[in-house]
Amino acid sequence: MSGHYPFGGKANRVSAFAFFEKHQFSLDLQERYYKWWYDFAKNFVERDPDLKVTRAVDFNHYPFGQHAESNFHLHGYKWATALADLGAFIANVIFPKLPEDALHKVAHDHEALIKTLEGDREKAPRAAPPDVGRYRHV
């Protein structure tokens, strides 16, 4: 499943940002994409007895992860950075616990999400990036 999502395989915040850039998702659409994965992970953790005990506390705060609410790049990496943290958790902890048919359902639902967000691009256009170096920090 590593190639289907912006956090699969050896992906990082740059991979997630490139995914958002490819799809021309505004910050609003990026958050909606992130929130879909956040809800997926939170619901899974709440239903899994082991994860509920060990990781449910991680979902007491939105967004998830060590970079939650960090927007230290001028190019708007906030959701890409948060997705890298959440995606690593999903790819390394949740996906291995899912049976093959559940993984296929996630892939199908993900495709539907992308189509919906792409349909909403005109309502929430992506702002032009600032004229600074790509990894310039604030």
Say what the pLDDT of residue 7 is.
87
pTM of the model: 0.85
Beta-ladder partners of 73:
137
Residue 137 lies in a domain: no
Tell me whether residue 25 is in a domain: yes
Structural domains counted in the chain: 1
Residue 8 included in any domain: no
* Segments in the chain below pLDDT 70: 1-3, 66-76, 127-138
Q: Is residue 6 part of a domain?
A: no
- Element housing 16 (H / E): helix 13-22
Q: Which structural domain range is residue 114 located in?
A: 13-119
For residue 52, being part of any structural domain is answered with: yes
Report the alpha-carbon distance of residue 115 to residue 57 in Å, rounded.
32
